[in-house]
Every structure is written in C-alpha cells, then in structure tokens.
Amino acid sequence: MGATRYVLSSVILGLFWSSLLKGVLTNSTSRCDYPPCSCDHYGRLTCDCKEEGEELILTTEGDRRLSPHTSRIVVSNCSSVILANSSLASMTGLRSVDLVNVANLTLVRQSFELSSHSARTRISVRNSSIDVMPSFVFRGDVEAITFENVRIGQLSAFSFANLVHTDTLRLENCHIETTEAQAFKKFDVGYLHVIGGTFGDQIPSRTMNDIEVYHKFMLDGVKMGVVRSNAFIMKSPRTVAIQNCVIESLESEAFDVTARGAVIIKNNTFGSISVGAYLGIRADRENRPPSSSSLVHDFIFKNNSVSSFEEGSLMFDRTSFRVEIDNLLIAQPCDCQMLPVWRNNVLNYTNVYSRFYARQNSLVPPQSQSQEAISETPETFLCLDGGLEDGVPTSFADYETRHCSLGGSMLVVILISVSAILALVACVCLIVWCCRRHRRNNRKKWISVPTNAPDVVSKKNGVIGREAATSGAPVDSRITMVVPDGRLYRETEFHVIVEKAEPLTTEL
C-alpha cells in the first residue's frame, strides 16, 4: 500500500513539473495558443497568416501577449501586422526577428527596442510595405538590420538611430517616397550598404548625419533625385563606393566624408553636378598620409556620364587622393568649340578652388600644397557623335582628328595623296638608278692581247723597235695585232684596191 502511494505521488509530481516546464517554455496563455501563431519547445514563435485575414498584433499585453522566453519570431504572409511599443524589450534570449510578405506593416516608436540583457539580435523585413517609418524605431544591441524589397512611404527623422554594436545596415531594392532630414542619425556601423531601389525626388541635407562607418559605405544602383548639400555626413570608412547610380542633381559638397581608404565612383549617370560636389570627400585628418604620392589613397572616377557641369564641378581633394579619371562621358553632342572648354573645366579649376580650400585645408594655403596633376589619356573624355538620342560615344581625340582640323577627312585624303606621290617618285628614282648601274656593269672592256707585247712604239719616231722593249718604257699596246698564225707583224702594208665599173655607152 505504501509503495502504491509512493508511485502515485511520483506520477502526480512528474505531471506537475512537466506542465510547469511547458508553461514556462510556451507560455500557454500567450500568443502561442492563438492562430495563426504557434510555438515550439525552443521558444520559436511562427505566425503564418496565409489562411487568416485578420490583423495580427504583436504586444506584451492581454491574453495574446508575447512570451518573454521567445528566442525567434517569424511572421509571414499577413495582410496587416502591428508591432507594439517595446514589445520585444522583455525577451532576453531573442536572436532574430523576420517579417516577410506583410502587406501593411505598422511600426511605432521603439517597436524594435531590445532588452539590455539580450544578446545581439538580427532584424529582417522583406517584401513588405510600411506607410510611415517613425522616429526611434530601434534601440539596443542590434547585430544586423536588413530591409529588402520594402516600400517606405515616409522615412522620418531619427528612424535609424540609437543603434549599438551594429555590424551591418543593408537596404536593398527599397523604394522610399519621402525622406526627412536626419533619418539616419548618430550611430556606429561596420557596413552601410544601400543597394538598388529609389530614394525619392529629394535627399535633404543631413539625411545621413554623424555616422561612423568602420569598413565600407556603398551606394549601388540607387536612383536619386536632387541630392542637397551635406546630404551624406559620415566618417572613417575604409572604402567609399558609389556605383551604378542614377542621380538627377548633385549640389555643392553633397558628400561630407572623411575616408581612411580608397574612394570609387564608377558607372554612374549624373544629370547636373554643381561646383565642388565631391570636394567634401577627403582623407581622415588623424590618418592623413604624408605628401608622398606613393602613400596617398586612390580616388577613381571611371565610366561616369555627366549631362551638365561647370568649372570646378569635378573638383577633388588632390592633397588627400591620387585622382584617376577615365571614360568620362559628356552626354552632349560633340562640338569642336566646346571640347577644350569641357576639358579645362575638369582638369583646371584654380579659379574656383580658393573658395573652398579654407574649409578643407585651413592650415595650409593651396599654393604650398602638393597636388598631383590628373593624367589624361585618349580615352579620358568622351562625347556623343551624332546627337543625344542616337549618338555614339567618341573620344575627344578621335573627334578632333576627324572633324576639328583642316576638315578632318580632307586632311586624311591630302596625307594619303602626298604619301602616294612620294612613294611613286622614290620608285622611279630607284628604277633609274638600277638601270644606270646595270648599264655601267655590262659595258664592254677591250683588253690588249697580249698585254706584254715585246715591241713598243717609240715616242720619238713612232717606229716599232725591239730595243724599246728592254728600255723599261711603257708599252703602247694599241697597235698590237694578233693574227691567226700567231706571228707578230712589225710592218704591215695595206693594199687598197678600188674597183670601179662604168656603164657601157657603146652598143655591142
């Protein structure tokens, strides 16, 4: 009997502890017990609204409150989701929050406030729509923030602020209709990437204000309207990359960036660029390299298109960077009179530099600073040959050769004609010289035989005598004659017989 009671009490106690443990893990009076959500024994909350049309509210109040023991939240396919104020603040073990395919996501102040005792949390919003991104949505130790394919009607001031130990902030294919000043305000981040999407018709001053980027700041494939002065204010990135973007207009000093490494601006399309738009990009003063050109950072401006600019629009801090300009397309029809003006506006801007240097290099006057000249190659500058719509990009050097000197093509014809005439004259001279040489080499030479005739002609009386042969006098071989029998004749008589026939005058 005692043994039976002992076994029964053990079973009851086991059921009690198991039910208590289940209540702690799943919080039976929480959001886990109501559709469309469910929880597992690891504290993961999953809400799939695929078959539910009601509004989903995530809050810490009421009988459908979130459990403080939740480790992961996944919400997908919901027509409407509301994330209440500080609803995540009590979750000390929260690792990630994923909101996917939400037609209308409503966020309020401190919706993503995290517990001060929680480990680093990852927040992801994908394929969703947010009408208003309020101020101070984030707070706490957020490891990574990813917004992918998200429509944001209004990005309010301080929407991205109060971030601690954030490694990556990534906005990919996000379409932001309106942006307020200081939407990104005063935080540290390892990587700040804005990839694809649009940033509205205007990016006001101080949109990104007082942000310290440890590794890389990148704008890739973003479409922007008017970028106001000081729209991007940040410091310390090791790499700055602005690439594949379409920007309607850049105002003066649109970028205020102190970089610790290379700056790459490539494959962009700019409408208009004001004076000194890039002059605010400079080397970090605490890590500014010596004046030696081998130690300065690279500033690469390559494969960009510009429709409208003026002298000093492409003005760079050449005391901080080694500037390389290549394949700069002036998106205007080529004009022989404008080519030198465009080239001068890019390479020479001494008249306007003095207006900006005081703010950038107040300690050293521009005359004493070492500035490396920008090298120019035949492919540095391009323009449109044929018009704006169907024009073909052509280098300045090629266009000047074909259209801007002596009629271009006429000069080529003249050069070819002169070259052909010179070649023909050279050929004729060569032929004449060869003929003369051949004639001189083939001329017959008469050789006296024998050359050492024993008899000579006396210079005194012209008589041939043998005694003259031994006197050492020169031999005149012109009168030497060789006959078939080999005998040498000193005297020769020539008998000339003249035969004359006269016609007969008498008849026979």
118 neighbors 140 (Cβ within 8 angstroms): yes
**Among 254, 228, 251, residue whose Cα is nearest residue 242:** 254
Q: Reduced to 3 states, what is the DSSP secondary structure of residue 272?
A: strand
Phi, psi of 126, rounded to the nearest 5 degrees: -135, 145
Helices (H), ranges, 278-349: 339-347
Max distance between CA atoms of the chain, in angstroms, equals 200
Give all domains of the chain, ordered by start, each with its CATH number.
72-352+373-402 (3.80.10)
Two tokens at 485? Answer: 């029998």
What pTM did the predictor assign?
0.72
Peptide bond into 36 cis (omega under 30): yes
**Among 349, 365, 346, 345, residue whose Cα is nearest residue 357:** 365
CA distance 292 to 378: 27
Residues 6+ apart with CB under 8 A from 374: 318, 323, 324, 325, 346, 347
What does the pLDDT read at residue 215? Answer: 96
What does the pLDDT read at residue 493? Answer: 57
CA distance 322 to 421: 49
C-alpha gyration radius of the chain: 50
What does the pLDDT read at residue 390? Answer: 78
Two tokens at 310? Answer: 């003026």
Residues 6+ apart with CB under 8 A from 314: 273, 277, 278, 301, 306, 325, 328, 345, 346
What does the pLDDT read at residue 507? Answer: 57
Two tokens at 272? Answer: 């208009």
Position of tokens 């004659």? 481
**Among 325, 318, 322, 323, residue whose Cα is nearest residue 361:** 318
Two tokens at 382? Answer: 């391009």
Beta-carbon count within 10 A of 417 CB: 10
Two tokens at 263? Answer: 């700056």
Q: Where are the beta strands (DSSP E) in 175-273?
A: 175-179, 184-185, 188-195, 202-203, 208-220, 223-227, 232-235, 239-243, 246-250, 255-259, 263-266, 269-273
Phi, psi of 347, rounded to the nearest 5 degrees: -90, -30
Looking at residue 371, its amino acid is Q
What does the pLDDT read at residue 368? Answer: 40
Can you give the three-state secondary structure of 408-459, one letter per residue?
CHHHHHHHHHHHHHHHHHHHHHHHHHHHHHHHHHCCCCCCCCCCCCCCEECC
Phi, psi of 438, rounded to the nearest 5 degrees: -65, -40
* Residue 477, Cβ density class (10 Å: 0-12 exposed, 13-18 middle, ≥19 buried): middle
CA distance 183 to 198: 15
What does the pLDDT read at residue 12? Answer: 45
The residue ranges of the chain whose pLDDT is under 50 are 1, 3-4, 6-8, 11-28, 292, 362-369, 408, 444, 446-449, 451, 453, 455-464, 466-470, 477-479, 489, 508
CA distance 37 to 45: 7
The H helix count followed by the E strand count for the chain is 6, 33
CA distance 259 to 288: 9
CA distance 293 to 441: 68
Two tokens at 459? Answer: 């210079």
Task: State the virtual CA torsion across 52, 54, 56, 62 in degrees, nearest 10.
Answer: -120
Q: How far apart are the first and last CA of the chain?
A: 200
CA distance 275 to 310: 7
Q: What is the pLDDT of residues 208-232, one digit of tens each?
A: 999 999 999 999 999 999 999 999 9
Residues 6+ apart with CB under 8 A from 328: 301, 304, 306, 314, 346, 380, 381, 382
Q: Reduced to 3 states, what is the DSSP secondary structure of residue 375?
A: coil
**Among 224, 312, 316, residue whose Cα is nearest residue 270:** 224
What does the pLDDT read at residue 376? Answer: 79
CA distance 199 to 202: 7
